[in-house]
Chain A
């Protein structure tokens, strides 16, 4: 392979990465806008409506404001680590998007270990949090980072078990293959056989992204803003960006794992399927993800913050046992091919492999 070819290929990959990240950053900006608007509406307020028509330029104004602000490094802080932390936080949350398929063939890295890769990426994000809290030389930041880290580590276990269930149901760790395994109709999607897992995965996802009602790491009333108290300007914006990128990621993953990803929800319905056939799969995926994003905001508008011991109890004593029990149920479900979800995967089909 000549050098020129290599260069072109490199640029093509960078181009594809940008093609994912630029819309993602825009989506993050408008997610913040949607969040403020929706929570406003749920509290019978109007939300931001001054910048631009109906407030549509508000996120742009926020970005400009954050860019212009000074990044303050607190005295006594470890400067290198302080500036490294936001990068460590945002890098995995962006890197996780590499394995997310947007359509049957539309994926940056079609890897066999997509599911594990996602778990790995979410687990490294803890470093950004811990280091941010430690390097800030602030008690609030340290408490916040400790809370956040232990919360992420605890809910990662429940989430990992939930993903094991998805992997068993899908029969693959490739995200594309998991979606293809749900092909058929809306009733073929995994939300029916995996319903408790869906609920647990979803709630763990909310907890992992430190969103309300699990936002004790940044509980404003106790520790100001948690691990990112000392951050201002662009460094803060990176934390913000990563948090919202994670929210969108969790929403898209929920759609992929349990709601058929890019598959048409009207599949198999006589008149509706031909009528909606022209809609590209990406649109379906984004619509489904948008609903879960809305759910996240809805949860935040509805529920008060959990107490810390309750969060830990929920993760360890409720979610993990339920997932383990459901894993056993699922094993039998798959092996005896109940229903129509796991056709050709049971004892009868595989028989004596080993």
Chain B
């Protein structure tokens, strides 16, 4: 009996037809595609995207060149050179670069920062057009921070109770 059942199942392609029927039904189902630039999926405030360097409200850059982020970075994407600032002699970075090709967006730099200077924003749709553009300099990072400060601050505030 079982043999016959198996025979029929094999030669009448029962299981294959069941599969075809499934895809046929899905052909007419509602589509779930998110039309990206017009529609976006909701994001968490903890989303880890493009990096930014923040400033204090008075305009002073937060980074104190402690190099913790450079040390913790698993992909060795961050390069920092430090030195006293010419105007007041405080310890600052003279060079702060992130190679975005190396970065794996793990967020360790953000976690390690004692002054909440380096952060990862929610921005994920960016691109580079030339070779070399992938290395973000300190000026670029600060500019990103200035531009999205409101969003960054809100996200940090929302996440603060859980830290």
Contact residues of A with B, CB < 8 Å?
38, 40-46, 199, 298-299, 301-303
Contact = CB atoms under 8 A, between A and B. Distances in A.
A199 B16 CA distance: 13
The 10 A-B residue pairs with the shortest CB-CB distance in the complex, in nearest-first order: A46-B33, A302-B23, A42-B23, A302-B19, A45-B33, A42-B26, A41-B27, A301-B23, A42-B27, A46-B31
Contacts of B33: 40, 44-46
A302 B113 CA distance: 50
Q: Give the residue among A38, A43, A199, A303 with the most B Cβ atoms within 10 A.
A: A43
Contacts of B29: 44
B19 A44 contact: no
A199 B13 CA distance: 10
A182 B115 CA distance: 84
A27 to B, nearest CB: 21
A135 B77 CA distance: 40
From DSSP, what is the main secondary structure of chain A's interface residues? helix
Given A302-B19, A303-B16, A44 B24 contact: no
A303 B31 contact: no
Nearest to A39: B23
A303 B20 CA distance: 8
Given A43-B26, A45-B31, A298-B24, 18 more contacts: A38-B27, A40-B31, A40-B33, A41-B27, A42-B23, A42-B26, A44-B26, A44-B29, A44-B31, A44-B32, A45-B32, A46-B33, A46-B35, A299-B20, A302-B16, A302-B20, A302-B22, A303-B19
Contacts of A302: 16, 19-20, 22-23
A42 to B, nearest CB: 5
- Between B13, B20, B35, the greatest number of chain A beta carbons within 10 A of the residue's beta carbon is seen for B20
A12 B26 CA distance: 48
Contacts, number: 36
B30 interface: yes
A199 B24 CA distance: 19
A199 B10 CA distance: 13
30 contacts: A38-B27, A40-B31, A40-B33, A41-B26, A41-B27, A41-B31, A42-B23, A42-B24, A42-B26, A42-B27, A44-B29, A44-B32, A44-B33, A45-B31, A45-B32, A45-B33, A46-B31, A46-B33, A46-B35, A199-B13, A298-B20, A298-B24, A299-B20, A301-B23, A302-B16, A302-B19, A302-B22, A302-B23, A303-B16, A303-B19
A303 B24 CA distance: 13
Contacts of B22: 302
